[in-house]
Structure 1
Amino acid sequence: MSEIFLEPWTEEDGKARVSTLFTQTFNKKASVFSCAPGRVNLIGEHTDYNDGLCLPIALPHKTFVALSYRDDDVVRLISDQGELWRGKITDIVPGMEQSWVNYAGGPAWSLGIVRGFDAAVVSCVPLGAGLSSSAAIEAAMAFALQPPQNAHDRQPIVDACIRAENEVANAPTGGMDQTVSIFANRGEAVCIDFFEHTQTHVPADFTQAGLCLLVIDTRAKHSLSDGQYGKRRAQCEQAKKELGLASLRSARLADVDQLQGIIAQRLRHVVSENTRVSDAIAALSARDFTTLGQLFLQSHESLRDDYEVSSPELDCAVETAMAHGALGARMTGGGFGGSAIALIHESQRDDIARAIREAHVDAGFPEPAFLVAHASSGAHLIAE
């Protein structure tokens, strides 16, 4: 056995792959090509739907779409991960049968597309890893269906992708994934403020300090539509109701004492996590990576103990990374499986990955996969 590092495709390779799939399936050439990245969140978990702060970066791993409109109302979709789907544009609605088509076709419904189309989808974003493969599909499809004319047109596309995931795919996510997949810039994290509805780009280049961000895909089952994610949202709504607040963004740590049990725990995580995002931005600006690493670990402990969304596999990855020299580590994404991240010295990458793999295998967990995350660009059209 050896460590599995998942390398991103080049844009040329991704376009060639999706073009080939499109042509072989539909016996014609596509008229538009697009791509959109997955994401990894540096810090700020389960804050998006609480009007809070988060700090994700876009991955270099992307989803690619090739598409052509039709002269009728028929929709045909093919993926390198699934079988050909054929239906009508009116079949893509909330309540349709759940499959990958909900994510690929959902943006057509939320954008109000009424024409039929043919589309092919290929991706190197790991599926089920908590790295937002779903938002990458949605954003790439939305850009192909209705390309924005300028930067001001991007927010409506974000909103459409969020509606597609919430209402067609029935996954109650908060919008962080779609926002960063569309607004990301190379070399920068995106601080998303869900109360002010703003995005601020923050320099996030670890390489000059000899560091890298190791992403550990635990390969533990990960799903946001299995009820647990929605349960956490409902508990936050309960905290808001009991405190008489319009938003948990205005809550303070002192408010935790007014609540009891699980509801108090959930609030403590949300409030403290927002503070950690602000502190992480300050640490990045000062290039204080020691402090950033400490914030990562504090975030994981809060997600594990107060929000209860970690898993034995995620805890194993974090604990092993820290024991072998990581500056910090934490679960990332919605939790209940998925991925963890570790801020490490580049020179230790292989050794730490090997230690994590061995620890997982010894514990009887699936053998993890790894990738190195560099802040990358967001969704865009690919020129012919």
Structure 2
Amino acid sequence: MNEQSNRQAAGTQQHFAERFGAHPDGVWAAPGRVNLIGEHTDYNEGFVLPFAIPHHASVAVRRTVDGILRVAGRQDVAGHGAVEVDLARLVAADGVRVAAELPGWARYVAGVFWSFGQSSREIGGLTAGYEIVVDSSVPIGAGLSSSAALECAVAVAVDDLANLGYNRRDLVLVCQRAENEFVGAPTGILDQSASLLSEAGHGLFLDCRTRVSRPVPLALAEAGLQILVIDTKVSHAHESGGYGQLRQACETGAQILGVPALRDVGVGELGDAEAVMPGQIFARVKHIVTENQRVLDVVALLEAEPFDAAALGELLTSSHVSMRDDFGNSCPEMDLAVETAVAAGAHGARMTGGGFGGSAIALVKANEADAVRDAVVRAFAEAGHAAPDVFPVLPSAGARRVS
């Protein structure tokens, strides 16, 4: 853990004592993520290459015996105080109905308990009772997976305290189900996998069909490089309609082509695909098929020694062009961030995350990072946009107990 992480954990622990009048049993943390490349390929059973970032959600947790889940945010998120839920009712309930009764941030916490309860394992440890204080340094709505970070922190804490015996890959599915079926966001497994399975200094190459993953060296500092996150301040939410519409378009394309998922379509088959489907559906299909190939190309580059930073940058920018022109999930602020970063000297840049706002990333020489950041900030001011938040990130470790 870095100094910022230590301070956050200590602050979460202190707030727990102030809120609940006792010490927590421990503090657990799970990181947000940057997706280096592989956007919307996860729910198409394709390939992704995310990495965990230093920003993380932390939860201070104490197990009790009264059957009540009590959750409070350290920053009193959205003006809500502690939220209380009867755990026996929660784990046996219709998830959508209960979720509608909770404030947004608390849904992710309660959703993890509900998802655990849907498994066939003994649920006594889930319904004992829990007090939880939540804190997070992952920017909300920035496309850095603040929701998955919170889910994963809660999942590893509950698994530890209730001795549920889940492995990390099973916890990925627990957290995904919480987000899909409880919160109502139709995401794949990318975010939760990055938060739970990442290793420091590496990306996570994940086959979303087989769920097989492996670490891929991402030696940025050694190569004199940085990845800058450009938070455009255009907020997005996975449970909003745009994400679901894109997913439906991909499923329609796969049905027309008679394949289980777009993972099964190669770049060389796109000409035939274009002839049998509506133009917009084909455009969505084209992005997924070419994006899968870009992921494989990036992994091959990173596993070469030394890797070609210019070639990597070209693939990142090509990914953004594909999202902008074919997938339709960019926005003017995002396009400005990418175009300005590249014009200012970045090797490449792209939107990261589900789209319709959020963040871009730029691969830059470390000694040029300030110049790229300043150019982006200046361009946003000249365009009349809200000032972006621009900061570097390094590949970090996955979810863990920190105290």
Q: Aligned to 1:115, which of 128, 148, 166?
A: 128
Q: Aligned to 1:65, which of 54, 59, 68?
A: 59
Which residue does 2:123 correspond to in 1?
Answer: none
Whether the 8 Å CA contact 1:215–1:342 is kept in 2: the answer is yes
1:343 aligns with 2:383: no
Deviations 1:187-220 (A, max 9, x none): 0000110122211110001111111000000001
Which residue does 2:320 correspond to in 1?
Answer: 300
Whether the 8 Å CA contact 2:159–2:166 is kept in 1: the answer is no
Deviations 1:31-86 (A, max 9, x none): 12100000000000000000000100000111111001111111110113422212
Which residue does 2:38 correspond to in 1?
Answer: 44
- Give the TM-score taking structure 2 as reference length: 0.90
Shift of residue 144, structure 1, vs aligned partner = 0.8
1:221 aligns with 2:235: yes
Gaps (5+ residues) in structure 1? 1-7
| CA distance in structure 1 between the partners assigned to 2:128 and 2:65 by the alignment | 7
Give the direction of change, closer, same or farther, for the CA distance of 1:91–1:197 in structure 2 (3 Å limit). Answer: closer
1:266 aligns with 2:291: no
Shift of residue 240, structure 1, vs aligned partner = 0.9
- Give the TM-score taking structure 1 as reference length: 0.95
Shift of residue 227, structure 1, vs aligned partner = 0.7
Whether the 8 Å CA contact 2:141–2:235 is kept in 1: the answer is yes
Give the direction of change, closer, same or farther, for the CA distance of 1:150–1:211 in structure 2 (3 Å limit). Answer: farther
**Identity within the alignment, %:** 40
Q: Aligned to 1:370, which of 390, 393, 398?
A: 390
1:280 aligns with 2:306: no
| CA distance in structure 1 between the partners assigned to 2:346 and 2:303 by the alignment | 20
RMSD: 1.6
Q: Report the secondary structure of 1:72's partner residue.
A: coil
Whether the 8 Å CA contact 1:187–1:203 is kept in 2: the answer is yes
Q: Report the secondary structure of 1:340's partner residue.
A: strand
Whether the 8 Å CA contact 2:90–2:114 is kept in 1: the answer is no
Which residue does 2:96 correspond to in 1?
Answer: 94
Gaps (5+ residues) in structure 2? 118-125
Give the direction of change, closer, same or farther, for the CA distance of 1:234–1:9 in structure 2 (3 Å limit). Answer: farther
Shift of residue 252, structure 1, vs aligned partner = 2.2
Which residue does 1:106 correspond to in 2?
Answer: 111
Whether the 8 Å CA contact 2:68–2:86 is kept in 1: the answer is yes
1:204 aligns with 2:183: no
Which residue does 2:377 correspond to in 1?
Answer: 357
Matches within 5 A, 1:9-88: 10-81=4-75, 82=77, 83=80, 84-88=82-86
Shift of residue 263, structure 1, vs aligned partner = 0.7
Give the direction of change, closer, same or farther, for the CA distance of 1:151–1:53 in structure 2 (3 Å limit). Answer: farther
| CA distance in structure 1 between the partners assigned to 2:173 and 2:376 by the alignment | 38
Q: Report the secondary structure of 1:147's partner residue.
A: helix
Give the direction of change, closer, same or farther, for the CA distance of 1:150–1:322 in structure 2 (3 Å limit). Answer: farther
Which residue does 1:233 correspond to in 2?
Answer: 247
Whether the 8 Å CA contact 1:9–1:61 is kept in 2: the answer is no
1:130 aligns with 2:143: yes
